[in-house]
Chain A
C-alpha cells in the first residue's frame, strides 16, 4: 500500500472536526415503496433523525434538502414539519456530499446551529420499468425543467461512465472480472444489511452472464433504483459533546472537479474530479489511508469504484482489479484491505440501493457509532468516503469518532 499518513501541503481549514453528525434517520429501501410519495419518505426519515438526536421542532434552524428528482424542497420540508424558526435553507444538487458540505458550512459560519439534511429517492420512469407504469411518476424528471427526450448518442453522466469504462479497458487491459469483483463485494456485504434491496448471493459466473445494458457495462455494474430516504442532523461538535456520548465528526469534506468536466471532454482517466478530491482531502485532513478503518468508494457504476480505489492511492492506476484480488477475503467473498478494512460494508449503491452516496454516509456514521450490528468493523474510528464520479460530482469526506 502507498505510504499514506503525511499531509500533502496543508490548506486553511478551520472547520476541521468542528461539525458533528448527531442524528440518523432512514426509511426502508425498496424497489417499490407502494403508493408513497418522496415527500412521505423524506418526512419519515427526517422525523426519525430528529428523534434520534433527541431534538424537537424548535431546535432545527437549518434545512438542507438535496435536489433529487421528486424530493420535496427545503421550504416544503420546513412546512411539512412546521419548523418554526429556520434561518438557513438550501437545495444543493445531488450527490450526497454537496448537502453535507452545505450543512457544515452553514453551521460553522453561524447561519444556523442545527441542520436537518435529508435526501429522498424515487424510481424514475426512465430507469425503472415499474416506475414507468406509475402515472404519478410520469412528470418526475431528472434535473426537472423541460428537458427534451434524450437521444441514443447522449453523453449524459450515466452513459458517460460506460464510455470511460471502455477507455479504462483499452488503457489498462482490464478484464470483466475486475468489474465483477466490485459487484460481488457489494453483494456479499449487502447480505448482512437488512435494509439492502439485493440480498441474494452473487457469483462471478452470474455476473459474467448478466444482461449487457451498455456494453462494456452490464446490469450488475449499475446501481439499483430504489424508493427511500435518508436524513441526518448536524450541529457543532461542541454542542454534540453535550448531546450524545458518541458524536461522529466530519474531519474533512470536499467537492472536486476539473475545468473540462463536460462528460466526453474530460481530460483523461488520469485527471478528473476524483484527483482534485484526493488532493483536497489530503491538504485539509490529517488522517489518511493508514488511519482508515472502513472505506466507502461510491459505486453508482462499477467503473467509479475502480477509480476511487486507484485514485485514493490504494494502488496504481489500472491496478484496482489486482488490488481486490490481493485483498480478497475468500471466506466472506469480499474485499478486506490488509485483512481488516471492508469496502462499503452496507452493500453500496449496487446492492443496498441507489442513494447517490447517502447510504455510504449513513453507514459511515453507523460504523463509527459502533451500531452496525453484524456488519460492525471492530473499533472503527475513521471512515473515508469517496463519493460521486468523475465529472461535476466528485466528492470526498473523512469522518471520525471522537
Chain B
C-alpha cells in the first residue's frame, strides 16, 4: 500500500505535480488506484481540490475518503492544442477534458479526461465511472462512460 511510500518517493513518482502536505493523500491514493477525496469528520462535507481545513465549518478533522468515482459530466471541452503529455497527440484528434460531478455530493467535481469513448459520445450529462490509465509510469484517474448508460 502507498502509505509506506515516503514523501520523497511520492514526489519522485509524480514529477509533474506540485505535491504538498495538503494533497499528498490524493496522490498516495492514485498509487493504489483509489480516488480519495477529503471529507470533513465534523460536518461530513466532501471537498476538492484538497485543502488544510474544511472551508464549510473550519474543522481540521478532514479525512481522505474513498469515493465511488461515479458521476456525470458537468463541463466538457476538447483541446485541439495544449500541454504535452504521454498518450496525448493533438495531431491525431482533440483531447477531451471533462469536469465530472461526483455522485457523493452535489457540486463536488473532479477534472480529468475520458477514455474508451468516441468523441461524439462525450457530452454534458454523460454518466461516467473511473478508468485508471497510466501517465509517466504512475496511475492516473480518468473516466469512461458507464456501461449501458450511454
Contact = CB atoms under 8 A, between A and B. Distances in A.
Interface stretch (B25-33, B59-67, B75-83): B75-83
| 4 closest Cβ pairs, A-B complex | A163-B75, A215-B78, A170-B124, A264-B99
B76 A163 contact: yes
Given A164-B75, A260-B107, A264-B75, A152 B97 contact: yes
A373 interface: no
A172 to B, nearest CB: 12
A259 B16 CA distance: 28
A162 B77 contact: yes
A148 B109 contact: no
A265 B85 contact: no
Interface string A214-257: 11110000000000000000000000000000000000000000
Nearest to B97: A153
Nearest to B100: A264
In this complex, the member of B80, B107, B111, B113 whose beta carbon has the largest number of chain A beta carbons within 10 angstroms is B111
Contacts of A170: 124-125
A264 B55 CA distance: 16
A152 B99 contact: no
B146 interface: no
A398 B92 CA distance: 48
Contacts of B76: 163, 166
A151 B113 CA distance: 11
A155 B79 contact: no
Given A148-B17, A152-B113, A163-B77, 17 more contacts: A148-B16, A152-B79, A152-B88, A153-B113, A159-B79, A162-B77, A163-B75, A163-B97, A166-B124, A167-B75, A170-B124, A213-B81, A215-B77, A215-B80, A216-B77, A264-B111, A265-B109
A167 B113 contact: no
Interface of B: 15-18, 48-49, 55, 74-85, 88, 94-95, 97, 99, 107-113, 124-125
Contacts of A265: 48-49, 107-109
A150 interface: yes
Contacts of A325: none
Contacts of B16: 148-149, 151
B79, B84, B113, most chain A CB atoms within 10 A: B79
Contacts of B79: 152, 159, 213-215
Nearest to B78: A215
8 contacts: A152-B113, A163-B77, A164-B75, A166-B76, A167-B124, A214-B79, A215-B78, A264-B99
Contacts of A216: 77
A212 interface: yes
In this complex, which of B75, B94, B113 has the most chain A Cβ atoms within 10 angstroms of its Cβ? B75
B31 to A, nearest CB: 17
A129 to B, nearest CB: 11
Contacts of B77: 159, 162-163, 165-166, 214-217
